[in-house]
Structure 1
Amino acid sequence: MQQKCFHTLPPQHNPVSDVRKGKTQLHKWAERQVLLCGTCLIVASVKDSLTGKMHILPLVGGKVEEVKRRQHCLMFSSAGPQAQTYFVNFDTLADYQRWHRQASKVVSQTISLVDLSCYSLEEVPEYLFYSQDLTHLNLRHNFMSLQGPGGLLNLPRFSQLKSLNLSHNRLGVFPESVCEILTLTELNLSCNGMNTVPAQIGNLQSLQTLSLDGNQLSFLPEELGGLAQLSSLGLSFNNFPHIPGVLDRLSGMDRLAMAGNRVETLELGILVRMSHLKNIDLRLNGLRWVKSEALEAVKQVTQLDLRDNHLATLDLSSICSLETLHCQRNQLRALTLSGFTLRTLHASSNRLTTVNIYPVPNQLTQMDLSRNLLEYLPDWVCDSRKVEVLDVTHNFLSELPARLLSSLSLRKLLAGNNRLQRLPDLLDHVPLEVLDLQHNKLGELPESLFYKALNLKYLNVSANALETIPPSSQSEESLSTLQELYLTGNKLNENCAALLVGHQNLRVLHMAYNQLLSFPASKLSKLELLEELNLSGNKLKTIPSTVSSCKRLHTLIAHSNHISVFPEILNLPEIKLVDLSCNELTEILLPDSLTSTLHELDLTGNSSLLLEHKTLNLFSHITTLKLDQKPAMTTGDSLGSSTLWNHGYSEMSGQRNKLCVSVLAVDRFGDSVEAAYGVFDGDRNEEVPRLLQCTMGDVLSEELLHSSVDSVYMSNTFLTSHRKLGMAGQKLGASALLCYIHHEPLELGSYFSLTVANVGSCQAVLCRDGQPLPLSKVFSLEQSTEEMDRVKLSKAIITEDNKVSGVTCCSRLLGCSYLSPWVLPKPWVRTEPLCSQDEFLILGNRALFERVSYQEAVCTVQAVRDPRAAAKKLCTLAQSYGCRDNVEAVVVSLHIGEDSCTCEPPHASTGTEPRGPPPTPLPVTAPPGDPATPSYSSGIASEFNSETSASELGSEAGSTASDEHPSTGPTARSERRCSLHPAATLCAPVGPGSAGVGGPHPVLFQRQPSCATFSSNQSDNGLDSDDEVPLEGVISNGSKLEVEVDIHCCAFQIRSGPPASHKDHNLDKTRSDYPNGKMRRQNSVVVSATNGCLLAVCGREISDLKKSPSTSSLFGKKLSNGSVVAPEDSHNLIEVALEAPKKKSGYFTAPAQQDPEDQLVVPPSLEQDVREQLKGQSPMPELEYLMCFRLQNLFATFPFTWKEGQLVKW
């Protein structure tokens, strides 16, 4: 028990250290346990035990120093004339640094002020009770108990104590012993789960501040009303249904905090009786009505906070002394206030169409009416004489009053995201410093803007329709003080560069996504103070060499242009970031020496760029060097995934010094056609996002082995990742978003499904049929009422900036374990079936979607084909719209159409399969020497040649065929099918033992591609007998004919023949008794042998087969256009042609023609012999398929043959 009170070495290290008492060399070193407890250094008297006499060295007012002559050694000295000294030698540098850091904090404290917060203490250290001068004691975030020598019952021993903080100690009850400390002026008992306050609270007559937030209180004792000196009372996040009546008697109280309670009605008459009350906080109460029954005015209230309630109308005209009002995030349609003393008004995120303030608020300095429904500004706004900041963004304003821009007090005007088409001219010189007009319909700016607003330092007119900008002055001499200019997303050309020369103080210039063909070199050289230049998304071929004149330039972003020559920027003294991705660079000419300041260089998307080893060596000092990887040899699986989707991503640090975001992007996830994408945002920390980037994909793979339920494996992935963060996740956290594209066997309406899981503020948006479809849930307290209610019920403290305990605005994160149960790692999970209308997927962090709306993001990506360039554009737009934080975006282009089948062939089990119930076992007897688990392909096209030998077939077709083995394990993943082909049939064998040697089951060839090209080495040139030109869809090179067909539309027929002979009854019996004859296996090819020919049968029950007009057989066969036949030795081949779907154009539109050469002609001299031979044979079934195999090439692979009408072993 005693050890819990101490701050000790980590448990994995030996807590025994070398200790020497005194400064003289006569004292010897000894091994002792050394502990830091509160403000004292405690040294044990024996080696391995804390028993016996303990040497206590008070450190408050003392000093701790490094001992340079001995490694990892500290000297601890107490204060006073009889100071004692201990030398402690530590084993490791980490222990040494930690002790030095902690002890330095202790010695800096004054004797009267002791902070023991977050020490996991159960009792107050005994030595503290001997300090009679202690006035401030902080025991926050501990596990204090009532009983014991150092329990809370002994706190009255501190006779001079004035401030006591016992918050977050899980006390459960109000410690009545505290009421005996009559000297207390400040008491904090927040977050202790208390239900009542004892009557003894009335004894604390000196109490001025009482904090009881985050408890379970619903009433207060009458004795509380006797605290005449109480000025501040905190009752937030309790269970009060109304303002307690006892507060009327607190004549000295000027601040009341009751946020997060259950007050639905505010009676202004109660405020009248509280004659000294000035500041009231009623946030997060579910307020619906504010009633004023009496005509008496409320004269004393100056600050009122009504944020995050359910008010529809608000009339506070009776509060005549109101100075500051917060009413954001309500449902207000009308607002009426008194303007006598009003100074600050915050009314954003409502439904306001009008705001009435009378009289004119001449004291008003700041007003926020953003995100409302205003169509015009009230007249009193222009009449107000002292308005300095006006925010009316995200409204429906079509014009601004002329007097507004001529205001002599207005310094900051934010009017973006409205419907402004023009601005009034400035008549006089105005003090305007910040002007934001982005996302309007402006075709021009006032001519006098720059020489009338001489103080203008920030101008953002991005996302308008500007074709030019106004001149900086009326003469050659310019007085412009403009420092930041954002012109992204307009229609500006290179002619406007001459108008920028007058802004010689310009530090930041964004002209991305305009119509610049060039940037005049002479104009760029004049901008000598330029620090950040963004010219992305234009048609530039070069960056002028005069950019070297911008000696202060640290950021150059010029991606998505046509730049072929690397600019002369690598010798700039302050250059830090260069982004020239998505250009046409071919080479880089480097100076003799490179500046050491460059830490990020992005050259991706330059397909013709080749870098020599010498160049790469010169770039070795760059922290972040982004280059395109060499295209690796793609297998069939990777080819299939790359044709179904591909991605691009972008990360930008903004104006922060570090990048606290990361991206996970895997186009081919696992061993099948699947993908995984994720984004992680650590806000202010970079450690957690990096850890998640490295581990979360592996965790998902592991969880897929244990569950097939989307919500289960995704939730477990997040919980496991949260646990794997370890110590890093105790106080640090990150938002996380994970998207998993996979086959969905149970969904009949889609080929693939997309499962999205997220915590925090990262979001995913799917573009479906041109419209955004949000797939994630934002877990911020401002945007999720459910999460707000959950956090309130758990009695967390939500600060005024809507952050849990003042730390994070998110209620669900990976990490931040110390904020549990308020902040949880449990994700939101959603599965969305994908269809052919789904174009792409956008993933981004909070900073991206705060600036770029869903609709704009979708329109932006639609206009850019390359996913990488689209992601770059999204991040660039966010920065140009005012984002200064880290921003990241991932764009996944989807190509899932009607011709993209995703049927997956079954694969051999390796123990426990990933997902789904086990399929029906299909034991297979494979030929000797065949691999047990050949790989399969997810590619779109394959080529088969009729002359392929047996060995070649095993190697070339190995990626598209495999032997079927039973899946094992209770959680084996079922075979997954697309919506067009939810199931298939395993055909019964067509002869005794036809499924392979010594077994009743067939050998399976599994096909995954949605279409294939089959060829014959000796075929005609694709001309039918009646054709004059080659048919579309037929590719001929003179020796090979390639036909593109869809093997998933496999319909084969067996010709009805004469009744079977007695010899064939066993065959029929075998068919009917075959246990798996009804099983469906899409893309499975059953291989058997009949009459010396190889038969390939695909996918339907024999009982369902019907005669087709295009049926072909060896004897008197009739061919369709899809046939590919070698003209010689046709008796050694069986050709199986499928009934292909009708297409609107190309090869399949041609009518079926019968080629005379394809008919079998029997000479008259042999006709009788042939008839005699046919009489002794059973009827030959007729099949259709799209392959041609030579019998002699396949005997080596398939050990069976046909003798005298019977299938026998080889």
Structure 2
Amino acid sequence: MKQLLLLCLLLSAPLFGQPYSLFETPNYHDHLIELAWGQQVWLKEQPQGKMQLFHLNGQPVFKQAFDQIWPSNFKGYLELQDGDKFYIGSLEGELWPLARTIEELGAEIKAVDFSAKSLGPVDYREISFLLGLPSALLQQTQLVFLKIDLDNSRLHREIKYLKNLKVLNLEGGSLRHLPKEIQALSQLEELDLGANDFYRVPKELALLPQLHTLYLDFLPIDSLGETVSALSQLKRLSWKDRISNDLAPLLDLKALNALDLELQGFEEHNIYALYEDSLGLTILEKFDQLEYLNLAGNFDNLKSVDFLAPLKNLRYLNLARAAIEQLPKSKKLWPKIEQLLLEEVSLKELPLAAKKWKKLYRFNNQSYTEENKSFFLISRLPKKIKFLILNGLSIKHEELLLLQKFKQLQVLSLSRVAIQQLPESFDQLKKLQELDLSHCQLTELPNNIGQLQQLKAINLTRNKLQSLPPSFYTLSQLQALFLNENQFKKLAPQLGHLKQLSQLELSNNQLKELPKQLEECKKLKILQVSDNQLKTIPLNFAHFKDLEQLLLYKNQLEEIPNSLFEAKKLRLVDLSSNPKIQFLSPKIKQLQQLKAVYLHDCGLQKLPDGICDLKKLHTLDLKANKLLELPSCMGQLQSLTQLMLSHNRLKYLPNSIGQLQKLNSLYLEDNQLQTLTPSIAQLKNLNSLDLDNNPNIKEIPLSFKKLTKLYYIGLYNCGLSEEEQDYWENLLENRDY
């Protein structure tokens, strides 16, 4: 998303970067993190479980290690001095203690992110300061980063007080204008105006002397005009999903070395117009200073990209989804290229110049569709390549044998390549750290797989494996193992030898038991064994002191293991679709870190009062049980946002439910409710209330009109009169949210 700016220690939704990894949940093993503008760093675990970031050359980004770095929320600012402290987090994120005020944020705070907080227009009756934020924010003059999305059409002029801002992210609001006071931000280097309502490039940008990175993504502007032409210091411009191919104003920007013109297709009527004008992109042949160019999704009818051949300084090029079969045949094509991304491009071959791409370390030519499979000449790739993504291609067996020449490979993905059997020569890839062989129709692994001693993650999902070779259990560095959707009926006890495992996924097999030796994998953080045939879990969960996620849904469990409540770091538990589970122990109160509990489609008849002690719980799914009542203490679940109670036998709700001030979704359909407690009217954040199929409900308390955020109420097959049902439905339909 952005240039390297700030490292986020944030546990909420992804905001600042995308993890470049072969796996969906890469948080618990070493992997490469994809940053903005083609830059990456390695995230590696250090002693005592700390994490550290490294450049690809092996040098650390920061001298210190950190207790937690969540890759999907990473943003690193290399120019900050080592040891500088900073904070970033949404107002609703768990790193922002509810009792903490902005006034308490000290001078060490370098960054604040409010993007996860829903901010409406400034209410001048309450505050008259910046963007509807507390006035104390304006005193945080040390801030270098501010991210916020606004419903206002204007940025308030008091932004001028944050004079040290280097990055201002206003993406996703309703802005149409910038105030002239923005010129006070004389140190601003990066500005994101994407997904707002600007119909022209704001002329106020010319007032920002240090601005070198600008985002104009998803804006209804048809011309960059003279405003952008005047930004002589601009180095990076992102104009995703543009509605024009008028790139001529950029010719005056001699400092411009990075251009992102990706078309993601959110505005299809505009995209088709650009396809018809795809020849307008040929002006790019004059931008020979470019080092980064993203043209993903830009080509439909254009069959040639020969106009890109003169770009001799390119280091990163993304031509994903281009309708081309070959690259330019220039003998000196892109001599500095380091990353070439050709996802969904049906190449017949690589040009001979590819053999001279000595700096190329990342190549991606994966395909997702049957029609777009291609034969590929691996022989023309340079030997020193480090990251090779060939998902979904038709690779000849003799070409597969050639992979052994890539001695520097660290990441290899062959997902959806019909391999069936790996060649024994795979043991030559000694530096391999991540390997994706999912959907490959494998029936076995080579006996020498244990030679890959640097391997930290392997994905073997959706194959036909029934066992692993003995040497596999000598992979002493393995941290993540994915064996979902295979044919395992039993696991070898040697699985316990993989003592570095932090993530083990075994869903959709035929397992009837787990080996006791699994207890030796004491570093496990994620254990996924759903959709198997387990009746009991013989493990002592007290050994798993770091376990955070346990997924055992769709088994045949008869009870919840008592030792489960000793895994004190658990944050998510899913035991759904185990219909023989009828009892939930009061010991659940011991799991104080729990955030989500899924117990739908079980046989529960009663909940213990101990569940009310889970202060961090935000999701509780109890659908399709046999509950007759809820504990009277339910109101103590102050963090609860979703409560799913559908398909039970409830007749009443406790009055304390009105104390759930963060609750936004309450699902009560298919119960036996007689009346609704008036305390529901106190749920000020409730936006969805489903009461379908409760025929004994004869009326809705008028006090429910106080639920100003309510936008959905399900009243099908309730006992309401047609007139009253129409009243409530019309009330919500006519609200202005």
> TM-score normalised to the size of structure 1?
0.35
Q: What amino acid is the match of 1:274?
A: L
Tell me the distance in 2 between the aligned counterparts of 1:365 and 1:390. Answer: 8
CA contact (8 A) 1:472 1:480 kept: no
Tell me the distance in 2 between the aligned counterparts of 1:95 and 1:379. Answer: 57
Match runs of 1:631-780 below 5 Å: none
Q: Cα distance, 1:96 vs. partner?
A: 12
Tell me the distance in 1 between the aligned counterparts of 2:309 and 2:282. Answer: 21
CA contact (8 A) 1:218 1:238 kept: no
CA contact (8 A) 1:144 1:152 kept: no
Matched, 1:507 2:687: yes
Q: Secondary structure at the match of 1:325?
A: strand
Q: Secondary structure at the match of 2:719?
A: coil
CA contact (8 A) 2:245 2:274 kept: no
Q: Cα distance, 1:254 vs. partner?
A: 0.6
Match runs of 1:556-705 below 5 Å: 562-563=722-723, 567=727, 575-576=732-733
Q: Cα distance, 1:415 vs. partner?
A: 0.4
Q: What amino acid is the match of 2:251?
A: A
Q: CA separation of 1:454/1:287 partners in 2, compared to 1, >3 Å: closer, same or farther?
A: same
Aligned equivalent of 1:232, options 411, 415, 432: 411
1:331-352 deviation line (CA, Å, top 9, x unaligned): 2222343441111122322222
1:989-1043 deviation line (CA, Å, top 9, x unaligned): xxxxxxxxxxxxxxxxxxxxxxxxxxxxxxxxxxxxxxxxxxxxxxxxxxxxxxx
Match runs of 1:388-407 below 5 Å: 388-396=571-579, 397-407=581-591
CA contact (8 A) 2:692 2:716 kept: yes
Tell me the distance in 1 between the aligned counterparts of 2:271 and 2:644. Answer: 51
Q: Cα distance, 1:405 vs. partner?
A: 4.5
Alignment coverage as a number of residue pairs? 468
CA contact (8 A) 1:193 1:215 kept: yes
Matched, 1:384 2:384: no
Q: CA separation of 1:162/1:375 partners in 2, compared to 1, >3 Å: closer, same or farther?
A: same
Q: CA separation of 1:100/1:175 partners in 2, compared to 1, >3 Å: closer, same or farther?
A: closer
For structure 2, the 5+ residue unaligned runs are: 1-221, 227-243, 256-268, 368-372
Q: Secondary structure at the match of 2:441?
A: coil
Matched, 1:157 2:343: no
Aligned equivalent of 1:331, options 490, 503, 510: 510
Tell me the distance in 2 between the aligned counterparts of 1:105 and 1:388. Answer: 52
Alignment-derived partner of residue 966 in structure 1: none
Alignment-derived partner of residue 465 in structure 1: 649
Tell me the distance in 2 between the aligned counterparts of 1:520 and 1:116. Answer: 55
After TM superposition, the runs of 4+ consecutive aligned structure 1 residues lying more than 6 A away are 72-75, 93-97, 99-102, 104-110
CA contact (8 A) 1:353 1:373 kept: yes
Q: What amino acid is the match of 1:180?
A: K
Q: Secondary structure at the match of 1:290?
A: coil
Q: Secondary structure at the match of 1:538?
A: coil
Q: What amino acid is the match of 2:361?
A: T
Q: Secondary structure at the match of 1:233?
A: strand
Matched, 1:340 2:516: no
Q: Cα distance, 1:385 vs. partner?
A: 0.9
1:448-477 deviation line (CA, Å, top 9, x unaligned): 2223x232232111111112222308xxx9
Q: Secondary structure at the match of 1:317?
A: helix
Matched, 1:483 2:668: no
Tell me the distance in 2 between the aligned counterparts of 1:510 and 1:425. Answer: 25
Q: Secondary structure at the match of 2:713?
A: strand
Q: Cα distance, 1:426 vs. partner?
A: 1.9
Q: What amino acid is the match of 1:162?
A: E
Q: Secondary structure at the match of 2:613?
A: coil
| Higher RCO structure (Cα 8 Å, ≥6 apart) | 1
Q: Cα distance, 1:279 vs. partner?
A: 1.4
CA contact (8 A) 1:345 1:368 kept: yes
Q: What amino acid is the match of 1:368?
A: L
Alignment-derived partner of residue 534 in structure 2: 352
Q: CA separation of 1:427/1:354 partners in 2, compared to 1, >3 Å: closer, same or farther?
A: closer
- Name the one with the larger strand percent: 1
Matched, 1:264 2:447: no
Tell me the distance in 2 between the aligned counterparts of 1:74 and 1:122. Answer: 21
Q: CA separation of 1:375/1:104 partners in 2, compared to 1, >3 Å: closer, same or farther?
A: farther
Greater mean deviation of Cα atoms: 173-182 or 414-423: 173-182
Alignment-derived partner of residue 133 in structure 1: 313
Tell me the distance in 2 between the aligned counterparts of 1:393 and 1:96. Answer: 45
Q: Cα distance, 1:311 vs. partner?
A: 1.9
Q: What amino acid is the match of 1:435?
A: L
Q: Secondary structure at the match of 1:462?
A: coil
Match runs of 1:771-790 below 5 Å: none
Q: CA separation of 1:357/1:98 partners in 2, compared to 1, >3 Å: closer, same or farther?
A: same
Aligned equivalent of 1:493, options 674, 677, 701: 674
Tell me the distance in 1 between the aligned counterparts of 2:408 and 2:358. Answer: 13
Match runs of 1:398-417 below 5 Å: 398-417=582-601
Q: Secondary structure at the match of 2:468?
A: strand
Alignment-derived partner of residue 60 in structure 2: none
Q: Cα distance, 1:116 vs. partner?
A: 5.3
CA contact (8 A) 2:713 2:729 kept: no
Tell me the distance in 2 between the aligned counterparts of 1:158 and 1:533. Answer: 59
Q: CA separation of 1:344/1:73 partners in 2, compared to 1, >3 Å: closer, same or farther?
A: closer
Matched, 1:539 2:733: no
Tell me the distance in 2 between the aligned counterparts of 1:167 and 1:217. Answer: 19
Matched, 1:436 2:613: no
Q: Cα distance, 1:435 vs. partner?
A: 1.2
CA contact (8 A) 2:443 2:464 kept: yes
Q: Cα distance, 1:216 vs. partner?
A: 2.8
Q: Cα distance, 1:195 vs. partner?
A: 7.0
Q: What amino acid is the match of 1:292?
A: P
Tell me the distance in 2 between the aligned counterparts of 1:459 and 1:437. Answer: 8
Alignment RMSD (CA, Å): 4.0
Alignment-derived partner of residue 482 in structure 2: 305
1:461-495 deviation line (CA, Å, top 9, x unaligned): 1111112222308xxx957543322222111112x
Q: Cα distance, 1:517 vs. partner?
A: 4.9
Structure showing greater Rg: 1
Q: What amino acid is the match of 1:536?
A: Y
Q: Cα distance, 1:439 vs. partner?
A: 0.7
Alignment-derived partner of residue 251 in structure 2: 79
Q: Secondary structure at the match of 2:308?
A: helix
1:285-336 deviation line (CA, Å, top 9, x unaligned): 2112224368x64321111222222222234322221112232222222234
CA contact (8 A) 1:332 1:351 kept: yes
Alignment-derived partner of residue 463 in structure 2: 285
Q: What amino acid is the match of 1:387?
A: L
Tell me the distance in 2 between the aligned counterparts of 1:532 and 1:80. Answer: 52
For structure 1, the 5+ residue unaligned runs are: 1-62, 84-92, 542-561, 577-594, 599-1210
Match runs of 1:1073-1152 below 5 Å: none
Alignment-derived partner of residue 420 in structure 2: 241
Q: Cα distance, 1:280 vs. partner?
A: 0.9
Q: Secondary structure at the match of 2:677?
A: helix
Tell me the distance in 2 between the aligned counterparts of 1:362 and 1:400. Answer: 21
Q: Cα distance, 1:189 vs. partner?
A: 4.1
Q: Cα distance, 1:440 vs. partner?
A: 0.9
Alignment-derived partner of residue 633 in structure 2: 448
CA contact (8 A) 1:262 1:285 kept: yes
Q: Secondary structure at the match of 1:265?
A: coil
Q: CA separation of 1:400/1:181 partners in 2, compared to 1, >3 Å: closer, same or farther?
A: same
Q: CA separation of 1:351/1:155 partners in 2, compared to 1, >3 Å: closer, same or farther?
A: farther
Aligned equivalent of 2:605, options 402, 421, 430: 421
Alignment-derived partner of residue 548 in structure 2: 365
% same residue: 22
Q: CA separation of 1:531/1:105 partners in 2, compared to 1, >3 Å: closer, same or farther?
A: farther
Q: CA separation of 1:142/1:276 partners in 2, compared to 1, >3 Å: closer, same or farther?
A: same
CA contact (8 A) 1:64 1:76 kept: no
CA contact (8 A) 1:405 1:424 kept: no
Tell me the distance in 1 between the aligned counterparts of 2:247 and 2:328. Answer: 34
Q: Cα distance, 1:401 vs. partner?
A: 2.2
Tell me the distance in 2 between the aligned counterparts of 1:98 and 1:427. Answer: 56
